[in-house]
C-alpha cells in the first residue's frame, strides 16, 4: 500500500476553497488525502490480519481451521465464515466444506508482506525503547497504516544502528 506523505502547509491565507485557515490547520486537499489513506487502510486491515493469521496457523500446525481462527481472533465462527467467504471471493484463500483453509499464492504473498511490515514496525519500536509486549501490540495497528516511505525510514533506522 503506497500513500502520499501528509505534510502541514505553512498556514495559508485560505484552505483550498477560500475558507480561512487557522494557524497550523492542514490544507483542505492534504486533509482529504490523509482521510482517504486512513479509510483505505481500514478496509484492508482486517483482510491482512486474517491472511497473516491463517499463514501463522498453517506454518505452526499445518492447517488453519475456522474454529482456530475464531478462537485466535476472539470472534464467533459465523463472523469468521463471512470473512472467509470474502477472502475466497478475493482469491486469497481456498476453502472446502468441513476442511481447513488454505492460502492461494496471492494470499500467501499478502500474508508475507503483512508479516514483513509488522516486523519492521515492531523492530523500530523496540529500537526506540518500547517494551516488547507494547511494541508487539502497537505494531499490529501501525503496520496497516504506515506509508511505504515511512516504513522504509523505520527499516533504515533499525538496520543502520
Query: Where is average pLDDT lowest: 30-34, 117-121, 155-159?
Result: 30-34
The pLDDT value given to residue 139: 94
Unique residue bearing C-alpha cell 544502528: 161
CB–CB of 65/101 below 8 Å? Answer: yes
The pair phi, psi for residue 96, each rounded to 5°, is -120, 150
Unique residue bearing C-alpha cell 506523505: 5
Joined together, the cell numbers standing for residue 15 give: 484552505
Nearest to 87 by CA among 131, 48, 145: 48
Rounded-to-integer distance, Cα 41 and Cα 38, Å: 5
The per-residue pLDDT for range 50-70, each reduced to its tens digit, is: 999 999 999 998 899 999 999
Kindly list the structural domains of the chain, giving each domain's residue range(s) and its CATH number in brackets, ordered by start: 28-159 (1.10.10.10)
Please state the pTM of the whole predicted model.
0.72
CB–CB of 89/96 below 8 Å? Answer: no
**Percentage of the chain surpassing pLDDT 90?**
61
Rounded-to-integer distance, Cα 14 and Cα 60, Å: 56
* Secondary structure of residue 26 in the 3-state scheme: coil
Contacts by residues 17-21 (CB-CB < 8 Å, ≥ 24 positions apart):
none
Average pLDDT for residues 71-100, to the nearest whole number?
Answer: 92
The pLDDT value given to residue 5: 31
pLDDT at 150 over 90: yes
Nearest to 72 by CA among 87, 91, 58: 58
Amino acid at each position: 500500500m503506497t500513500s502520499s506523505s501528509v505534510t502541514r502547509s505553512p498556514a495559508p491565507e485560505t484552505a483550498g476553497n477560500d475558507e480561512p485557515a487557522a494557524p497550523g490547520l492542514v490544507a483542505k486537499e492534504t486533509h482529504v488525502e490523509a482521510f482517504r489513506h486512513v479509510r483505505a487502510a481500514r478496509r484492508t486491515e482486517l483482510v491482512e490480519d486474517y491472511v497473516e493469521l491463517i499463514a501463522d496457523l498453517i506454518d505452526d500446525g499445518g492447517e488453519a481451521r475456522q474454529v482456530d481462527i475464531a478462537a485466535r481472533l476472539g470472534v464467533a465462527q459465523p463472523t469468521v465464515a463471512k470473512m472467509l467467504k470474502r477472502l475466497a471471493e478475493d482469491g486469497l484463500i481456498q476453502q472446502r466444506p468441513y476442511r481447513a483453509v488454505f492460502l492461494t499464492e496471492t494470499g500467501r504473498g499478502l500474508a508475507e508482506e503483512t508479516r514483513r511490515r509488522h516486523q519492521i514496525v515492531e523492530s523500530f519500536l523496540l529500537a526506540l525503547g518500547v517494551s516488547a509486549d507494547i511494541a508487539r501490540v502497537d505494531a499490529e495497528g501501525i503496520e496497516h497504516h504506515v506509508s511505504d516511505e515511512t516504513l522504509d525510514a523505520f527499516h533504515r533506522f533499525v538496520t543502520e544502528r
